[in-house]
Amino acid sequence: MEILISSSVWDPKPWVEGLSASRDITKIHVWPTTEDISKVEVLFVWKPLAEGIINKLPKLKWISSLGAGVDHLTSDPQIPSHIPITRIVDPFLARDMTNYVIMGLMMHQRSMLTHLHNQRATIWDRITYQPLKVGIMGLGALGSHLAERLVLLGFEVFGYSRTLKDIDGVKCFDATQNEEFLNHAEVLVNLLPVTPQTESILNANLFRKMPEQSYLINVARGNHLVEKDLVEALNSGRLSGALLDVFKEEPLPTDNPLWQHEKVTITPHVASVTTPESAIKLLLINFELLNNNQKLLHQIDLEQGY
Ligand code: NDP
Ligand code: OXD
């Protein structure tokens, strides 16, 4: 079986090396290429996909995102609806996301940025800290892992998902209970996928439903956030701060006001990065399933958009 890897953001080398071990794979092409790719049956993508590529792959049977998110595929009009699309669900991805959010949460709860500033200015200020209620939007592979770990750390945890979940120690809400959920979110962590229902969900209307002086952690996608509304909410004091890892435009343009905002902390889409060695194990299982005409693992539902 021939495969094509199109990874314009990450180095394809570890993927090529790892997948080369598979007996099922006869040839690995890496885009861009001038080779004949008409026999390719499997396409692995980490965004964006060059326009017109799908037309060059008449034998295509399976597309996989090389990350957890699939919005780069669901938003691409050239992606056909009859071919299964899968994504990466991986314990390392969940662990790393949980660790990142815990870091952000602790930095906020313990006023760490102020302590760092005070250290430079030799100021001894014993700022107190409060218990925090954490609301997690999206209780899928990443959000549910985070929720469980936060309960163990002693946080009061609230969770929100399309369908109602049952997670020990977490007060869960479904999509009809948006306002009730938000009322509790002193820290709001966004771990939703981008779909037509969730695009721009982090907006002024949502910020108004959160308790005064809440904190936002956006680790899902930049398209969830209305940046202008966030800046207004921070300037008015409605929100006390934000930790942002993802942006509408990446890299974040140097003239974007978020870079300079004193209440914003920015990281460059590194909250959790797919570990190729681990993700390849999943891809190899799916090769086997594909060969046996069985349903692939972690296939997305195109109608739901994730
Ligand atoms: P999942 O698909 O496993 O989980 C998605 C969750 O969102 C589910 O609980 C789902 O509900 C819920 N959901 C979807 N639509 C709605 C809606 N309209 N209203 C309420 N809830 C909704 O995704 P993952 O946990 O694997 O990943 C989440 C996102 O994290 C990815 O899509 C990606 O964008 C981002 N990500 C960011 C990374 C980074 O480094 N910054 C790294 C990895 C991922 P239900 O359970 O009912 O289906
Ligand atoms: C992902 C990401 O979706 O890295 O995996 O954002």
Exposure class string for 176-210: b at 16+ Cβ within 10 A, else e:
eeeeebbebbbbbbbbbbbbeebbebbeeebbeeb
Could you tell me if 80 and 162 lie in one domain?
no
Burial class (CB in 10 A: 0-12, 13-18, 19+), 280: buried
Question: Terminus-to-terminus CA distance in the chain, angstroms?
Answer: 27
Sequence-separated (6 or more) residues with CB below 8 Å from residue 182: 135, 188, 206, 209, 210
The answer to whether residue 27 sits within a structural domain is yes
Are residues 84 and 181 part of one domain? Answer: no
Shared domain for 185 and 100, answered yes or no, is yes
* Domain presence at residue 297: no
Q: Give the ligand at the shortest distance from the Cα of 244.
A: 1
User: Which of the four pLDDT bands, split at 50, 70 and 90, describes residue 209?
Assistant: very high
What pLDDT score does 181 carry?
Answer: 98
Q: For residue range 91-138, what is the model confidence (pLDDT) as tens digits?
A: 999 999 999 999 999 999 999 999 999 999 999 999 999 999 999 999
pLDDT, one tens digit per residue, over 177-205 is 999 999 999 999 999 999 999 999 999 99
Dihedral pair phi/psi, residue 243, rounded to 5°: -110, 120
pLDDT at 7: 94
Question: In this structure, are 65 and 120 located in the same domain?
Answer: no
Ligand 1 centroid distance, CA of 44 (Å):
20
CA angle 130, 133, 137 (to 5 degrees): 145
Q: Tell me the ligand closest to 165's alpha carbon.
A: 1
**Measured between alpha carbons, how far is residue 69 from residues 26, 165, 249, 253, 298 in Å?**
28, 21, 16, 22, 11
**Is residue 184 situated within a structural domain?**
yes
- Checking 176-181 for CB contacts under 8 A at 24+ apart, the result is 178/209, 179/209, 181/135, 181/137
The C-alpha torsion from 161 through 167 and 171 to 174, rounded to 10°, is 20
Looking at the fold, whether 143 and 215 belong to one and the same domain comes out as: yes
Q: Are residues 97 and 159 in the same domain?
A: yes
What does the buried/exposed string (b/e) look like for 105-144 if buried means 16 or more CB atoms within 10 Å of the residue's CB? Answer: bebbbeeeeeeeeeeeeeeeeeeeeeebbbbbbbbbbbbb
pTM summary value: 0.98
Query: Cβ atoms within 10 A of the Cβ of 53, count?
Result: 19
- Return the H-helix or E-strand segment holding 123: none
Q: How many CB atoms are closer than 10 A to CB 269? A: 17
Task: Give the other-Cβ count within 10 Å of 25's Cβ.
Answer: 18
Write out pLDDT tens, residues 217-248: 999 999 999 999 999 999 999 999 999 999 99
Q: How far apart are CA 221 and CA 199, in angstroms?
A: 9
Q: How many CA atoms, within 13 angstroms, populate the side-chain half-sphere of residue 66? A: 27
81 located within any domain:
yes
Whether 46 and 184 map to the same domain: the answer is: no
Could you list the residue range(s) of the whole structural domain that residue 35 is in?
2-90+274-291
Radius of gyration of the chain (CA): 21
Look at residue 299 and tell me if it is in a domain: no
Same domain, 37 and 142: no
**CB-CB contact of 88 with 110 (8 Å):** no
> For residue 305, is it within any domain?
no
Residue 302 included in any domain:
no
CATH number at residue 168: 3.40.50.720
Ligand 2 site, residue 69, Cβ cutoff 6 A: yes
Q: Kind and range of the H or E element at 130? A: none
Give tens-digit pLDDT for 46-95.
999 999 999 999 999 999 999 999 999 999 999 999 999 999 999 999 99
The residues lining ligand 1, judged by C-beta closer than 6 Å to any ligand atom, are: 67-69, 89, 93, 97, 138-143, 160-163, 175, 191-193, 195, 197-198, 219-221, 245-246, 269, 271-272, 306
Q: Which ligand is closest to the CA of 193, given by its number? A: 1
Domain co-membership, 76 together with 174: no
167 and 240 share one domain: yes
- Note whether 83 and 60 are within 8 A (CB): yes
Q: Are residues 24 and 101 in the same domain?
A: no
Same domain, 184 and 118: yes
Kindly name the residue from 29, 72, 221, 298 that is annotated as catalytic.
221
**pLDDT score of 152:** 98
pLDDT at 259: 98
- Chain segment 252-290, per-residue pLDDT in tens: 999 999 999 999 999 999 999 999 999 999 999 999 999
Count of domains forming the chain = 2
- Ligand 2 pocket test, candidate residues 45, 221, 274, 300, most atoms within 8 A of CB: 274
For residue 3, give both structure tokens.
Answer: 């495969």
Residue 52, burial from CB neighbour count under 10 angstroms (0-12, 13-18, 19+): exposed
CB 100 within 8 A of CB 146: no
Which pLDDT band holds residue 172 (cuts at 50, 70, 90)?
Answer: very high
pLDDT at 63: 98
Q: Is 304 inside any structural domain?
A: no
Residue 193, ligand 2, Cβ within 6 A: no
